[in-house]
Structure 1
Amino acid sequence: GFLIGPQVLGWVDLEISNHVIHTIAEVTLVIVLFTDAASTDFTLFRRSGNLPLRMLLIGMPLAVALGTLAALGLFPGWSLWEAALLAAILTPTDAALGQAVTENEAIPERIRNAIGTESGLNDGLALPLVVLFAALAAGASSDGASYWLEFAGSQIVLGPLVGVAIGYAGGRLVGLADEHEWMAEWAEGIAAMAIALGAFMLAEAVHGNGFLAAFAGGLAFGKGLGRRCRFLYEFQQTEAHMLVLITFTLVGAMLLPAAMQHLTLNCFIFSIFALTLMRMLPIALSLTGLKLGLHTIAFLGWFGPRGLASVLFLLMVMQSTDLARESELLAAVALTVTLSILLHGITAAPWARRYGRAQGDRTEHPREI
């Protein structure tokens, strides 16, 4: 998107307002959160030796804390909540950017499952932190902390409540229609998307967070349906990928040039830190005691590419709050995602092949939590 945009080759000169970009990004985020949650196979937690559970419940909070400390040290003048917001935005990983890893059968199944399951859930789990830290950062900059804290509370509570109600009821209805053959399979996907968008809009109408509603609705939809959502998996591989591609192209063409105007050396240092120690150290700590090899720990720690979730969370924050550090936040997130696309894209296939060969027929047996 950046290369074909007006700043470089000039092949595409899009006259699109930020509001249109935000709207496209909102729809994409709602669908990605819902489909990721609804298509999650929770039996993979057991089959993966509880690796993703440890990575999510131990590694993820540690990554946010470590990223916050790094941002405070590298960006003088930032408040605690602004630093925490940046860390929370850059914590979720993107499974789509690591498909060379998750679909490589030379890699042990539970390692692939751990990476894929973590990526499918960590965007939804990071979202409450993003909402909370954005509200507190906005409150700190406008001396209205109590209002913003109350706002964050209503967003975090009401959104999931609406999502669970709509998602579970929708899942039951779709399951009932499928059982009685009232609905063609292709129509199930349309129904699921309608449920996702309905949960989002209803949550926003009652002052809850629509994105949290979409994620909670996806989890409840899968539960209400009572079976794996094959049509949602197929949707993820086709239409959802097209939405992601369009969003990345628009962001690259329209927002990346603006971000480059605010790049600094400290921003570059933070981006490198975010892609390495901010994730790899917490992941290593979360896997302590499982008797995994150093190669496996490094592999799990490195393959957490930043992509769509970070970009969409950033756009959500820019649309909903008025932050004093918005330009610096944009620069840090845009640079980190760009470097991640390059570095993880270059290393994914060769390291996956090397790791698969190194493992061979060896089987590691991590003890469960």
Structure 2
Amino acid sequence: MADLLYLVAGLALLLAVILPRLLQHVWLSPPPVLVLVGLGLGATPIADRVRFDPVKNGPIVEHVTELTVLIALMGVGLAIDRPIDLRSLASIRRWSPAWRLLAVTMPLCIAGVALLGWAAGIAPATALLLGAVLAPTDPVLASDVQVGAPTDPDAVESIEEIDEHDEVRFALSSEAGLNDGLAFPFVYAAILLATTSALGWGDLAHWVSWYLLGKIAVGVLAGLVVGWGLGKVAFGARSEPLRLAEHGESLLALAALLTAYGASEVCGGYGFLSVFTCALSVRATERHHEYHRAMHEVVERLERLLTLLVLLVLGVAMSRGLLAHLDWRAAGLALALVFVVRPAAGMAALAGTRSPSGGRLTGRERLAIAFFGVRGVGSVYYLAYAVGHADFAEARWLWSAVAFTIVLSVIVHGVLATPVMRHLEGRRAARGRLALD
């Protein structure tokens, strides 16, 4: 099996280099292609020795997907140009789309999937876990609808010009960066429900006080402190060798990622939140500096490699029994989430939302933000984590349901992302020309 893993890793690296350039003029993103390549590879005799069991191999799946999500979160945090100052109400309002998507859309998606699953005869703990696993949008597979690299510091004259032109990409990026950590309390709620015969008020109070509030606060604080400290050293240390920004040592991004995640987890917080806030904090230390682009480039390359590797393995696994327990309930829930629950919840959250320039988001922009809730690697991580910490009777059914939902999202969103974003950018450019006239 080791030789097959080398082959898959080699193909992933090769495709990571070729696919983005090969598909740059095609209305198709790399993820759907990778899944199809994995399916084809899994159908060949060379994959006969593979016995991928996500339940038995849960720890491996958990750690590989965990690292992939962490790298993606660092990349998203470094890429977001729009500053946030928690001491300024005006600055907080500039992030309004993110708060709305987190406070309204994500809970509605969790509740919608859980209630539909429960109505279909799924056990309450399993239904809640499925809702929690599939609710967060993915920072890994959503690159086609997210912000790009950090803005070139020479391209703008003032901070007010940064990241104001594309509210759709900003909303989806900030949501993906934050909701991967905020889904964890509901995963823990499902684990608690699965391991406790009867939930009392004491259990609920503990969940709210620690899992919903305490661990979030610890994660955010750890990320802010680590990011601020490393940023101050890299950009302004008195000792010249410590000013890594001047030397272009971009591996600081990985050091910050691991330090923030480790510090948060040791203190009991949510590490995903810590990594994202750490990236924002490093970026805020010295916003107009080309060093951020160098760090982002390193993270982006690692993210691309790990993402394509995961997608190839997912494709192979699907052709080797991962979908064996797929039934009408799982397929129906996946279709409902992608085409009904997420878009409806997103539109409800974004009603009346204004852009920082003062105008309301157009209906097409709100629909795009609501629709492109990409499901991906984060869902695999959450499921592997939950199944490893509690006994869910329908664990194999859950794996089939989540895998089908991810593939559905990868194909639908992957095919539509490029044309939809080009259409919105064209309309935005047209409005800008009219305003100048």
Shorter-chain TM-score bucket reads: 0.7 to 0.9
User: Residue 344 of structure 1 aligns to a residue in which SS?
Assistant: helix
Q: Report which stretch shifted further, 153-162 or 347-356.
A: 153-162
- For 1:209 and 1:98, the matched residues in 2 are separated by 22
Question: How far did 1:361 drift?
Answer: 1.8
Q: Is the 8 A contact 1:139 1:146 kept in 2?
A: no
Q: Is the 8 A contact 1:167 1:196 kept in 2?
A: no
Question: How far did 1:294 drift?
Answer: 3.6
Query: What amino acid is the match of 1:113?
Result: F
Q: Is the 8 A contact 1:28 1:244 kept in 2?
A: yes
What do residues 105-147 of structure 1 show as CA deviations (whole Å, max 9, x unaligned)? xxx62333333333333323333433x3243233336989949
Question: How far did 1:93 drift?
Answer: 2.0
What do residues 35-82 of structure 1 show as CA deviations (whole Å, max 9, x unaligned)? 4334433349889784344333332332222222222223x1421x43
Question: Which of 99, 123, 126 is the matching residue for 1:78?
Answer: 123
- Alignment of 1:88 with 2:132, yes or no, is yes
- Number of the residue aligned with 1:9: 44
User: Residue 34 of structure 1 aligns to a residue in which SS?
Assistant: helix
Question: Which of 244, 247, 252 is the matching residue for 2:307?
Answer: 244
- Number of the residue aligned with 1:126: 183
Question: How far did 1:85 drift?
Answer: 2.5
Question: How far did 1:234 drift?
Answer: 1.6
Rate the CA distance shift 1:4–1:187 in 2: closer, same or farther, 3 A.
farther
Question: How far did 1:160 drift?
Answer: 4.5
- For 2:388 and 2:113, the matched residues in 1 are separated by 23
- Alignment of 1:285 with 2:348, yes or no, is yes
Question: How far did 1:91 drift?
Answer: 2.0
Rate the CA distance shift 1:210–1:297 in 2: closer, same or farther, 3 A.
closer
Rate the CA distance shift 1:308–1:360 in 2: closer, same or farther, 3 A.
same
- Number of the residue aligned with 1:193: 254
- Number of the residue aligned with 2:195: 139
Rate the CA distance shift 1:237–1:170 in 2: closer, same or farther, 3 A.
same
- Number of the residue aligned with 1:29: 69
- Alignment of 1:264 with 2:327, yes or no, is yes
Q: Is the 8 A contact 1:5 1:254 kept in 2?
A: no
Matched pairs, number? 357
Query: What amino acid is the match of 1:323?
Result: F
Q: Which structure 2 segments of 5+ residues have no match? A: 1-34, 85-90, 149-164, 354-359, 433-437
Q: Report which stretch shifted further, 333-342 or 317-326.
A: 317-326
What do residues 306-341 of structure 1 show as CA deviations (whole Å, max 9, x unaligned)? 122222222232334433332222222111100111
- Number of the residue aligned with 1:313: 382
- For 1:337 and 1:70, the matched residues in 2 are separated by 18
- For 1:90 and 1:113, the matched residues in 2 are separated by 21
Query: What amino acid is the match of 1:335?
Result: F
- Alignment of 1:61 with 2:107, yes or no, is yes
- Number of the residue aligned with 1:345: 414
Question: How far did 1:342 drift?
Answer: 0.9
Rate the CA distance shift 1:248–1:206 in 2: closer, same or farther, 3 A.
same
Q: Is the 8 A contact 1:164 1:217 kept in 2?
A: yes
Q: Is the 8 A contact 2:260 2:271 kept in 1?
A: yes
Q: How does 1:358-369 map to 2 (within 5 A)?
A: 361-362=430-431
- For 1:318 and 1:97, the matched residues in 2 are separated by 23
Q: How does 1:200-279 map to 2 (within 5 A)?
A: 200-223=261-284, 229-254=292-317, 257-279=320-342
- For 1:22 and 1:315, the matched residues in 2 are separated by 5
- For 1:351 and 1:260, the matched residues in 2 are separated by 30
- Alignment of 1:330 with 2:399, yes or no, is yes
RMSD of the alignment, in Å?
A: 3.8
- For 1:350 and 1:342, the matched residues in 2 are separated by 14
Rate the CA distance shift 1:200–1:43 in 2: closer, same or farther, 3 A.
closer
TM-score (norm 2): 0.68
User: Residue 251 of structure 2 aligns to a residue in which SS?
Assistant: helix
Query: What amino acid is the match of 1:334?
Result: A
- Alignment of 1:301 with 2:370, yes or no, is yes
- For 1:326 and 1:276, the matched residues in 2 are separated by 25
Q: Which structure 1 segments of 5+ residues have no match? A: 364-369
Question: How far did 1:157 drift?
Answer: 5.6
Query: What amino acid is the match of 2:44?
Result: L
